[in-house]
């Protein structure tokens, strides 16, 4: 697992660095073009209007490239945060879940649970996520013996703090929304 994650990080870093380097090269080309325009204007080879139009166009292109570079750098930061979340989730699901903000807890639950059926203000049935179900049936997922006590505590906590999903009498809460 560690080697796969390291390989993904290195590939991602290489891809982003390559894209940033290409954008930096484009930026340098535009800067050189701007210098040539200034030189041409200094030598009276360009009229003031032509110089101004060309200068504005080149500066707009430089700003576009700068925005693309910032966007790539932000994407890289987001990817690293996502990898960190995945790593923490795979090492200690319970702790990661308990420390997560409420909106993220809902997404974590969707990894395992598709629907929760409620009857007489109590959970009476849970439908597993199909992917999780297949992994569990193929014994690719290890479930501790006291897992039900933990999931029961999580469900109870979640239901007490999320009234919008509490629908009594045979209704269900669908996590796909």
Asked which of 29, 64, 91 is the last residue of a domain, the reply is 91
- What pLDDT is attached to residue 61? 95
Residue 177 has pLDDT above 50, yes or no: no
Look at residue 143 in the predicted model and tell me its pLDDT.
59
Judge if 77 and 113 occupy the same domain.
Answer: no
Instruction: Please tell me the total count of domains within the chain.
Output: 2
The pLDDT, as a whole number, for residue 60 is 94
Q: Are residues 76 and 108 in the same domain?
A: no
Q: Which of 39, 68, 91 is the last residue of a domain?
A: 91
74 pLDDT tier (thresholds 50, 70, 90) = confident
Kindly report whether the global pTM for this prediction surpasses the value 0.75: no
Report residue 156's pLDDT band, with 50, 70 and 90 as the boundaries: low
User: Which of 69, 91, 113 is where one domain is finished?
Assistant: 91
pLDDT at 29 over 90: yes
> DSSP states of the chain as a string?
-HHHHHHHHHHHHHHHHHHHHHHHHHHHHHHHHHHHHHHHHHTT-S-HHHHHHHHHHHHHHHHHHHHHHHHHHHHHHHHHHHHHHHHHHHH-HHHHHHHS-HHHHHHHHHHHEEEEEEETTEEEEEEEPHHHHHHHHTT-S---TTHHHHHHHHHHHHHHH-GGG---SS-EEETT-
Read off the pLDDT band of 56 (50, 70, 90): very high
For residues 150-170, average pLDDT: 58
In a shared domain, residues 37 and 114: no
> What value does the mean pLDDT of the chain take?
76
User: Would you state the pLDDT for residue 94?
Assistant: 79
Tens-digit pLDDT profile for residues 97-125: 888 888 888 777 777 788 888 888 888 88
């Amino acid at each position: 697992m560690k080697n796969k994650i390291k390989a993904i990080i290195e590939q991602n870093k290489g891809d982003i660095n390559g894209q940033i380097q290409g954008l930096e090269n484009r930026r340098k080309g535009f800067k050189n073009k701007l210098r040539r325009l200034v030189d041409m204007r200094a030598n009276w080879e360009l009229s003031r209007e032509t110089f101004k139009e060309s200068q504005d166009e080149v500066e707009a292109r430089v700003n576009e490239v700068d925005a693309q570079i910032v966007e790539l750098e932000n994407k890289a930061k987001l990817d690293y945060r996502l990898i960190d979340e995945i790593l923490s989730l795979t090492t200690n699901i319970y702790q990661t879940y308990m420390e997560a903000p409420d909106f993220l807890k809902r997404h974590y639950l969707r990894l395992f649970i598709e629907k929760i059926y409620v009857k007489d203000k109590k959970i009476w049935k849970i439908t597993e996520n199909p992917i999780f179900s297949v992994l569990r049936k193929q014994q690719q997922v290890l479930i501790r013996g006291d897992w039900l006590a933990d999931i029961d505590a999580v469900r109870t906590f979640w239901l007490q703090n999320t009234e919008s999903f509490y629908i009594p009498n045979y209704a269900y809460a669908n996590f796909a929304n």
